[in-house]
Structure 1
Amino acid sequence: MSALHAISRTVGDLARTEAFYRDGLGFGRIAPPEPVPPPMLEALGLPDASATRLRMGIGAQIVEFLAVDPAGAPYPAEPLATDPFFQHVAIPVRDMETAMARLGGLAPRPISRGGAQRLPERSGGVTAFKARDPDGHPFELIVFPDGPAAARWAQAPGLFLGIDHSAITVTDLDAALAFFAGALGFSVAQRGLNRGPEQGRLDGVPDPEVDVVALVPPGRSTPHLELLHYRRPATTRPTPAPFGPRDRATTRLVLAVGDVAATIRAVEAAGYPVTVSRDGGTAYAAGPDGHGLLVVTG
């Protein structure tokens, strides 16, 4: 069994990041900043780096922020939702207007045009807004109108309810499904094709047509993973993305598994090289389009 234990992001300034996620998005500290454990640094290919980790939570979900010294490349200029390194966290909110008013004081860089967008029923009927944190990492505020997703968050307290999913842009949908559903055992929970002016304003790109595939890990279902495959517009960025864990454009899925060795074998059999810590308990791979996967014992 496995679960998405956390989302991990590389950032430039932990204090700035903490203030943004705390004051704008309702996250709280799980622990004070701490040195990144040596096995994790070994797996990430940074055995000699000085790195600090800040773990923050919202509800039962966790985001880990890593600051690495010396730092890598900054987030690329003028990023788009179609970029192969795009990965957002989706935060369900109790009330979109109130959430955006709280967030607005921190002046996030919007991805969406014209504020929050209500998608048509064929695209789920959700109301959503996408923006970027101070480093450039994207996030999404979302209101589910009804159905299982709304029921999943009905009893969560507060304005910002948790992390529903993390969505990654992929350029080859079949390859991504073979990796996550085949090698890692995720199950396809829902598939859709989103398009139209509302989707364009939400994503900040012209005339999009995007496959949206929800994948649930074998263990706990929250958070889950979404694949975003843009049939149009086509990306102009190289893939796999030319970034490593030291660079700020990187986000990693932290997968907690019962058998790290078996997961390593499955990832390697799928054709993705794996870096393993000396104790064998932590591993890292750059999966489809270079999206990071950190495997830990859990």
Structure 2
Amino acid sequence: MSDQRIVAVRLACRDVEATARFYGAAFGCREAAGEKGMRVLLLGHQRLELVQATQDGEPAPPSNAVSFQHCAIVVPDMDKAMRYLRGVSGWTAILLDGAESLPEASGGATAFKFRDPDGHPLELIEFHPGKAPAPWRHRDPIPFLGIDHSAVTVSDTDRAVAFWRELGFAVQERHTNRGPEQARMDGLRIPEAVVEVTTLKPSGGGPPHLELLRYATPAPALVGAADGSPFATSLVLQNVPAGSRSDADPDGHRFRHRGA
């Protein structure tokens, strides 16, 4: 399983063509070949697959809901990235007061969370100087480098870790983010949020990797995304271990199998 990877994030869209145009305008995504009925975009070296949603009307989940799943896009300069993003229409802010810098105890990164025109949550992340993971240590002049991870909210970290370990993922790091900065970043109107963050790497490496978010404050909202909804995001995995028959984790986060 040494070559197991997350090879794509699949987003269900109300209007595939409109969403593809947004990602091209907002992040400079490039088109790639894909299956019939699918638009494939490259953001850096990472792959997004856009497919048609078959249901509508479901409200966008808050950050502490187990139906929540976002993509984190690495930027080398948050101010430059925000200026670029503000020139594109169609997105809505989760973090209403601009980018938020987390305290050193929470990694020190600067982040901005928002939603694309379909309501899919996205995060821009600028790593603290000296703490950028190896794939992002280059300083390309482009404002958006690629997708670092997909983060999912879970109800029980240990249960989720056990599930993903069976699929070849390994725990790389566990830490807890807490404070008013986290609450503001997540659009939660409470004095402070407390969330345990667990980084899982596929056996073949990344990016992207997977992050588990387990909220202690506020408590997890145990409401999943319906099949066919715009929030039924899927991870596309290469080389899932033989014998794995599930297509979702214990909290309903979906994944798809793809061979080498």
TM-score by length of 2: 0.92
Written as runs of structure 1 = structure 2, the 5 A alignment for 1:52-67 is 52-67=37-52
User: Please, what is the CA RMSD of the aligned residues?
Assistant: 1.7
Q: Which residue of 2 is the match for residue 200 of structure 1?
A: 183
Q: Which amino acid aligns with 1:291?
A: H
Larger radius of gyration: 1
Q: Distance in 1 between matches of 2:104 and 2:132?
A: 14
Stretches of 4+ moved more than 6 A in 1? none
Q: Which residue of 2 is the match for residue 136 of structure 1?
A: 119
**Deviation for aligned residue 1:107:** 4.4
- Unaligned ranges ≥5, structure 2: none
Change (3 A) 1:84 1:252: same
Q: Which residue of 2 is the match for residue 9 of structure 1?
A: 11
Q: Distance in 2 between matches of 1:290 and 1:147?
A: 36
**Deviation for aligned residue 1:228:** 0.3
Q: Which amino acid aligns with 2:106?
A: S
Count of residues paired in the alignment: 254
Identity of aligned residues (%): 42
Written as runs of structure 1 = structure 2, the 5 A alignment for 1:60-75 is 60-68=45-53, 71-74=54-57
Q: Which residue of 1 is the match for residue 215 of structure 2?
A: 230
Q: Which residue of 1 is the match for residue 80 of structure 2?
A: 98
Higher helix fraction: Structure 1 or Structure 2?
Answer: 1
Q: Distance in 1 between matches of 2:111 and 2:121?
A: 13
* C-alpha distance after superposition, 1:230-287 (max 9, x if no partner): 011024443xx1511x221111111001xx5x44x2x34xxxxx4xxxxxxxxxx122
Q: Distance in 2 between matches of 1:288 and 1:88?
A: 18
Q: Distance in 1 between matches of 2:139 and 2:29?
A: 14
2:252 counterpart of 1:290: yes
Please state whether the residue corresponding to 2:184 is helix, strand or coil.
helix
2:145 counterpart of 1:161: yes
* C-alpha distance after superposition, 1:31-51 (max 9, x if no partner): 3x751xxxxxxxxxxxxxxxx
Q: Distance in 2 between matches of 1:177 and 1:230?
A: 15
Maintained 8 Å contact 2:176/2:197: yes
* C-alpha distance after superposition, 1:38-74 (max 9, x if no partner): xxxxxxxxxxxxxx11110012110101115xx2234
* C-alpha distance after superposition, 1:81-140 (max 9, x if no partner): 011111100001121112112212314111113110000001000000000011110010
Q: Which amino acid aligns with 1:292?
A: R
Q: Distance in 2 between matches of 1:163 and 1:17?
A: 17
**Deviation for aligned residue 1:156:** 5.9
